[in-house]
Amino acid sequence: MSIPVITLGAVASAFVPGLEQLRGPVTVVRRCEELAELVAACQTGLARAAIIAPGAADLTASLVDRLRFTGVVIIALRDHPPGAADPVVDGIDYVEASVEPAVLAAAVSRAVGRFEAESARPRDSHAYADPLGLPDVMVPQPPDATEEPGTGRIVAVWGPSGAPGRTTVALNMAAELAAAGSSVLLVDADTYGASVGASLGLLDESAGLAQACRIADQGRFDGAALGRIAVSVAVKGGRLRVLTGITRPDGWPELRPAALGKVLEAGRSLAEVTVIDRGFCLEADEELSFDTLAPRRNGAALRCLEAADTVLAIGAADTIGVPRLVKALAELDDAVPTATPRVVFNKVRAAAVGRAPETQLREAWERFGPSVRISAFLPMDHAAADRALLAGTALLETAPASPLRLAIAALADVPAAGDTRRRRPGQRPRNVKFPGIPARLPR
Ligand SMILES: Nc1ncnc2c1ncn2[C@@H]1O[C@H](COP(=O)(O)OP(=O)(O)OP(=O)(O)O)[C@@H](O)[C@H]1O
Ligand SMILES: [Mg+2]
């Protein structure tokens, strides 16, 4: 198949007749005079390579990144033989402008081939941290994705600002499901405060989600590819796959909604349950029609909620958290009318809302809250939450009998393995007054 190519500048477009005469490896699909024109054309997915004339553009690493992000490699023409003083930018192939068209075409083929091989390559290693000195909290795991169309379910854990506990719930639900034998993918899609990696003690700074989105955006992506990118984390009795989030403030534009949608679909093939830790914001981003790299921080949030079979709306159980959740649910209804949220109050305690806090919250919710019913109450449990954070692991490892762990296990509707307290047969754990979300997380 011929490689579609864009040229920039007169010296590059002078090659067009010669390249066309080859009737072979490359096809020039557009000639551009301006860099902005070239970038816009690349973003439409038109080309796989850009041939840039000497002096037609500042050749920088960020230009390389920008074009690579759209799946395009750069071949830069030089008007003189390469000298030691010439700048060399990684990711650019340099070719003398005096070469024959066939030589240039061969250079284009090589560069595109190399780029495609790099894009498909799995990560070399998985960084891991073990804050308590425990052995192997995380080990590499070979992909075992099937080719079947995905049937896994997607649960988005979302909620308003104010740290109501989205990450705590997402991570621990994922761990509970994994410990109960499900294959689970945990995705940190919080573009404002990614923290799943840190909460699991991972030193991996490479933002697996961004990497997955980048590859998905180039058109080749499935559960197997996702399995190679996700890191594998051992939790007691099970194993979690994790796509870490973007912690660099400038990294969030990498989460293009279309690519993220493909990643989540691949998650359905890879895992029985994909749990997404999703940030609070719902506003639609303004997108400049001529610049498809314009901000889409919140577009990613919307895509997660659209893709989810179940949205858990986490609210802090206090006088600020409750009205915030009411408002956020109204916004959710406007932004993603198809979402069917389930309300979960977290950090439930008498000190914040009065005696019998669950009754108080229920009554307040009936008076002021939307018609969505409350699915679960998760108790305030500082000791357990802090211990798990310090250890960089899930509650089921560090605080298996804690009220918070038991409540989250009930929310996930899995038996709380490792809870050693004695109970009569059929008796529910104390502090879990509401049975939570039904088994199998229905659509
Ligand atoms: N039920 C709980 N009891 C005690 N502490 C809790 C509970 N749930 C969460 N926490 C603690 O509250 C803090 C915020 O929780 P978490 O990071 O899960 O919130 P978030 O909604 O994800 O916040 P962010 O806005 O940072 O994404 C953490 O220190 C966590 O350990
Ligand atoms: Mg969070």
Mean pLDDT to the nearest integer, 395-413: 96
Closest ligand (CA of 387) = 1
- Do 184 and 89 fall within a single domain? no
The domain boundary, picked from 120, 139, 169, lies at: 120
Average pLDDT of 387-395? 95
Atom of ligand 1 nearest to the CA of 162: 25
0.85 exceeded by pTM: no
Label residue 425 by pLDDT band (50, 70, 90): low
CB atoms within 10 A of CB 412: 29
| 113 plus 179 within the same structural domain | no
In this structure, the answer to whether residues 256 and 356 fall within a common structural domain is: yes
Residue 331 inside a domain? The answer is yes
Query: Which residues lie closer than 8 Å to 189 by C-beta, 6 or more apart?
Result: 209, 245, 255, 260, 276, 277, 278, 279, 300, 301, 304
Between these two residues, 223 and 370, which has the higher pLDDT value? 223
Angle ∠(14,17,19) on CA atoms, nearest 5? 95
Question: CA 191 to CA 354: how far, in whole Å?
Answer: 35
Name residue 133's amino acid.
G
Both 116 and 161 in one domain: the answer is no
Percent of the chain clearing pLDDT 70 (strictly above): 81
The domain boundary, picked from 79, 100, 120, lies at 120
pLDDT: is 268 or 63 the higher one? 268
Tell me which of 305 and 137 has the higher pLDDT: 305
Q: Answer whether residue 426 is part of any domain.
A: no
Which residue has its alpha carbon closest to ligand 1 atom 23? 163
Backbone phi, psi, residue 153, to 5° = -105, 155
Structure tokens, 352 = 């914040």
CB 7 within 8 A of CB 53: yes
Provide the number of structural domains found in the chain: 2
Residues 199 and 74 in one domain: no
For residue 442, being part of any structural domain is answered with no
Residue 182 pLDDT more than 70? yes
Report how far ligand 2's centroid is from the alpha carbon of 328 (Å). 16
Instruction: Pick the ligand that lies closest to the CA of residue 166.
Output: 1
- pLDDT tier at 140, thresholds 50, 70, 90: very low
Compute CA 116 distance to the chain's CA centroid, rounded to the nearest angstrom.
22
Residues 267 and 223 in one domain: yes
**CATH (domain of 190):** 3.40.50.300
Q: Which two tokens stand for residue 346?
A: 């977290």
Write out the DSSP string of 407-436: HHHHHHT---TT------TTPPPTT--S--
Of 104, 120, 136, the residue that ends a domain is 120
Q: Is 143 within a domain?
A: no
Residue 359 lies in a domain: yes
Question: Which residue among 167, 169, 304, 393 is best mutated to probe the pocket of ligand 1, counting the most ligand atoms within 8 A of its Cβ?
Answer: 167
What was the pLDDT predicted at 219? 55
Judgement on whether residues 188 and 107 belong to the same structural domain of the protein: no
* 27 confidence band (pLDDT: 50, 70, 90): very high
Q: Is 427 exposed, middle or buried (0-12, 13-18, 19+ CB in 10 A)?
A: exposed
Q: Which domain holds residue 30?
A: 3-120
Alpha carbon of 301 to ligand 2 centroid (Å): 13
| Same-domain pairing of 90 and 200 | no
Clarify whether residues 170 and 90 are in a common domain.
no
Within a domain: 95: yes
Q: What does the pLDDT read at residue 421?
A: 54
Indicate whether 119 pLDDT > 90. Answer: no
Ligand 1 site residues (CB inside 6 A) read 163-168, 190, 193, 195, 346-347, 378, 380-382, 385, 389, 404
Q: Is the pLDDT of residue 187 over 90?
A: yes
Distance from Cα 167 to the centre of ligand 2, integer Å: 4
Q: Flag whether 125 is in a domain.
A: no
Q: Which two tokens stand for residue 426?
A: 């059929």
Which has more pLDDT, 95 or 418?
95
φ, ψ of residue 6 in degrees (nearest 5): -115, 140
422 Cα–ligand 2 center, Å: 34
For 443, other C-beta atoms within 10 Å of its C-beta total 9
Q: What is the CATH number of the domain that holds 112?
A: 3.40.50.2300
Residue 362 and residue 292 in one domain: yes
**Residue 213 forms part of a structural domain:** yes
How far is the CA of 381 from the CAs of 168, 200, 202, 406, in angstroms? 12, 19, 24, 11
Q: What is the pLDDT of residue 147?
A: 46
235-269 confidence digits (pLDDT tens): 988 899 999 998 876 777 778 777 788 899 999 99
162 in the same domain as 87 = no
Tell me: do 94 and 218 sit in the same domain: no
Beta carbons of 282 and 321 less than 8 angstroms apart: no
The atom number, within ligand 1, closest to the CA of 389 reads: 31
Question: How far, in whole angstroms, is CA 344 from its chain's centroid?
Answer: 23
Q: Is residue 100 over pLDDT 80? A: yes
